[in-house]
Amino acid sequence: MTKIAIIDYKAGNAPSVMHAVSRLKHEAAFARAPQDISGATHIILPGVGSAGATMQSLSEMGMIPALEEAVLRGKTLFLGICVGLQVLFDHSDEDDVDCLGWLSGRVVKFDGSKVRVPQMGWNQVKFVRQAPVNTQEDYFYFVNSYHAKPKDESVLWGAADYNGAFTAAVRKDNIYATQFHAEKSGEAGLALLNGFLNLKGGE
């Protein structure tokens, strides 16, 4: 039986993700304490705001050890969105904060002398790797001043261009994440979200 947990923390946008999940006819519950993700088949970490605020909120909730147990050791399916992607890496230049370190690399700021920062609006994403989530090149909605630079190129799932290519989506084993807001990206975003929610453990 599918059990979807959406992590609800001070810096997140959990209600908009819940709305999208409900539109797709899936049932989900907010996770506001470590025990709330126990037994989950799918965990979603939404993100708005800064990496520092996100890490602080997750720490204050006691959520980090529970997430590591569920995702890294239990191989629970995980989807990070926006800042939920950025905190998967070792370090973010935003707030100069150490993050979860599940993926090797760091998060850096767009060059404000060359492009408008933050990037706000629709941008085309090209998916460069196959994944069990069925995806195709399309436009998705971004709001970001920072982007991830993975050390391991094999985790790159999707790329977009903003004065040069940047990481739009990553995937490693049971861990999926998008820099764009899938829940705000129209039919393409809902299709990606639905594909993730329809995954079974081990995919």
Tell me which of 94, 99, 147, 181 is the catalytic residue: 181
* Whether residue 147 lies in the annotated active site: no
Q: Which spans in the chain are helix H? A: 14-23, 51-60, 63-67, 83-86, 186-197
Q: How far is CA 151 from CA 67, 79, 139, 159, in A?
A: 22, 20, 26, 15
Whether 181 sits among the annotated catalytic residues: the reply is yes
The two structure tokens encoding residue 129:
């790797």
Question: Which pairs from 113-120 meet CB under 8 Å and 24+ separation?
Answer: 114/163, 115/162, 115/163, 117/145, 118/143, 118/144, 118/145, 119/143, 119/144, 119/145, 119/162
Q: Annotated catalytic residue: which of 27, 153, 183, 203?
A: 183
Active-site residue identified among 42, 82, 94, 147: 82
Would you call 26 a catalytic residue per the annotation? no
Enumerate the active-site residues.
82, 181, 183
